[in-house]
């Protein structure tokens, strides 16, 4: 089975993605694992739970970052993001 093609330049540079989110940017991300698209952002509190990053279709909670790195979690969810203009 062939992977779907996305007509944008995407990246899997998760260190850069984390930097962009930490700077307050909202970034369009694709979770190829769940086949969903969302606007990712850094967020600290929602619905009574603390978390660091909101990907819409999934969240990275502060306790998740005690078990794995941001980069490892992005790999787990097979995340790609649209590269912003530099």
86 pLDDT band, cuts 50/70/90, is: low
pLDDT score for 12:
94
For residues 10 and 83, is the Cβ–Cβ distance under 8 A?
yes
Q: Name the pTM for this structure.
A: 0.78
Question: What is the b/e burial string over 53-86, where b = at least 16 CB atoms within 10 angstroms of the residue's CB?
Answer: bbbebbbbeeebeeeeebeebbeebebbbebeee
Convert the pLDDT of each residue in 25-46 to its tens digit: 999 998 877 778 888 998 766 5
């Amino acid at each position: 089975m062939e992977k779907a093609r996305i007509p944008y330049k995407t990246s899997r540079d998760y260190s850069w993605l984390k930097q962009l989110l930490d700077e307050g940017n909202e970034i369009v991300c694709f979770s190829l694992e769940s086949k969903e698209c969302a606007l990712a952002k850094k967020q600290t509190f929602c619905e009574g739970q603390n978390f660091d990053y909101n990907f819409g279709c999934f969240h990275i909670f502060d306790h998740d970052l005690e078990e794995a790195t941001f980069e490892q979690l992005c790999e787990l969810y097979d995340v790609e993001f649209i590269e912003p203009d530099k």
